[in-house]
Amino acid sequence: MPQIVFLPHAELCPDGAVVEANEGESVLNVALKNGINIEHACEKVCACTTCHVVIREGFDELEESDELEDDMLDKAWGLEPESRLSCQTKVPSCDLVVDIPKYTVNMVSEGN
């Protein structure tokens, strides 16, 4: 069973976390199931960037992002080459290391 290492995040998981995940499950669902409350304003339908994460290890083992996810990611704060939307990122057969950015852009709450 793959594991996901969530790196420390000051608000969401100050000590970091190592959790087990089912292959094919979304990174967001794994986080939520383990008490790591990554924001997901669009309710997991790839219509915002609030669940943006950076995959520090295991990125090359992920299924490629589609055009819709890429378009949404272009609007994310702190975009990096290994950025993904956690609602769209399916756990592969290998372990992942996930970094949750310090900030997120929530166009709904910010009135944009």
Q: Which domains occur in the chain, in start order?
A: 3-95 (3.10.20.30)
**Token duo for residue 27:** 């990174």
Question: What global pTM score does this model have?
Answer: 0.92
Question: Is 108 a residue whose pLDDT tops 90?
Answer: no
In the chain, % of residues over pLDDT 90: 89
**What's the CA gap between 3 and 80, in Å, rounded?**
22
**Token duo for residue 99:** 């970094």
pLDDT band at 106 (very low <50, low <70, confident <90, very high): low
SS (H, E, C) 72-109: HHCCCCCCCCCEEECCCCECCCCCEEEECCCCCCCHHH
- How does pLDDT run across 39-62, given as a tens digit for each residue? 999 999 999 999 999 999 999 999
**What's the CA gap between 9 and 65, in Å, rounded?**
24
- List, in order, residues 6 or more apart from 58 with CB less than 8 Å away: 92, 94, 95, 96, 97
The dihedrals phi and psi of 105, each to the nearest 5 degrees, come to: -105, 115
pLDDT band at 17 (very low <50, low <70, confident <90, very high): very high
